[in-house]
Amino acid sequence: MATSHPYVRYLAIALTIFTSLEMLQRADAQLHQPAMRYIESNGIKMRIAEAGSGPLVIFVHGWPESWYSWRHQLPALAAAGYKAVAPDMRGYGKTEKPRAVEDYDIHHVTADLVGIVDALGEKKAILVGHDWGAIVAWQAMLLHPDRFSALVAMSVPYSGRGPQSLVQSLKSSFGENFFYILYFQEPGIAETEFDADPRAILSRLYLSPDSPREAPRVTDPKRAAGGWIPRLGAPKSLPSWLTQDDLDYYVAEFKEAGFRGGINYYRNFHRNWESTPQLSGAKISAPVLFLAGDKDVVIRGATAEGLTASMRNAVPGLRAVKLLPNTGHWVQQERPAEVNAEIVEFLKGIDRK
């Protein structure tokens, strides 16, 4: 029998190794896929996704999102040796949705996070928050400093308690013109618009900065000219980081849950400010990493140096500000590998100190 050429043998060995590694990676990913269950927290039933074991890391989503926004982070953190948990926040997904607006104030939603720590039998947790989840996480660090040991905040920085509430500032700036946060203050209006067509609002929001859009149907800046959906151009295609199945999952969740609960967080901006005078001058000394896309509209073109300077006084524990290039608001979904690496590096750095 003829002996095969050495190159052929080497190629066969290489293919075998590659196939084995691929199978191992798939098995590892499957091993760390999150499991879903319900817990009691702060008087409500919450649905959580959890994966892994080790130090507890709680992922806090923003608006309009769900636990699913952390689908890329949970397996990665579990593989890195952490217990990664992502709840549907109060008012979202399969978590309970109290009726009263005031049940969504900062005291309730931060106490929900404390309740998750208690329900899981832990004394402390690390927080990772994006968008409204970052707002809740920043405030949890201030209101419950003995329960949360570190923070990764995404998209929304913190520079201290302002001299007036955000709603007051926006009313002074926008007057009769449309701005979504002011629109959300109108009882029952925004959720009625979005509940009627969840896919329309979600598909217009879950885009990259350079995503192609149709022209908006409403261009008049006055609030009286219409709601939010017609002011946002319809997408011509999904961004590369969002599959049709991903969008369908979000749409199904909001079709069932509605938008009222999430919008009620915005309706508490002024109440939150009025009810936390004790936080004037309060500082966060625990370790903090800030992450955002450099094209995120929330940071309005700020540089890492500028964000560091703006946060340093209120957040002396700030370790680093990382801006991912050519990335928009949905940073952990747009750039999951980079975000996961930054989170793990930050947490391992804390462990070493």
Q: Catalytic residue positions?
A: 131, 329
What gap in Å lies between CA 146 and CA 149, rounded to an integer?
A: 7
Q: Is 48 helix (H, G, I), strand (E, B) or coil?
A: strand
Q: Distance of CA 63 to CAs 66, 261, 293, Å? A: 8, 10, 17
Which DSSP state fits 293? E
In sequence order, what are the residues at sequence separation of 6 or more whose Cβ sits closer than 8 angstroms to the Cβ of residue 184? 190, 263, 266, 267
Phi, psi dihedrals of residue 99, rounded to the nearest 5°:
-80, -40
> Are 131 and 65 a contacting pair, CB within 8 Å?
yes
Closest CA to 148 of 136, 157, 160, 159: 136
> Are 295 and 126 a contacting pair, CB within 8 Å?
no
The DSSP string of 88-114 is PPTTSTTS---S-GGGGSHHHHHHHHH
- What do you get for the CA distance between the two ends of the chain, in Å? 63
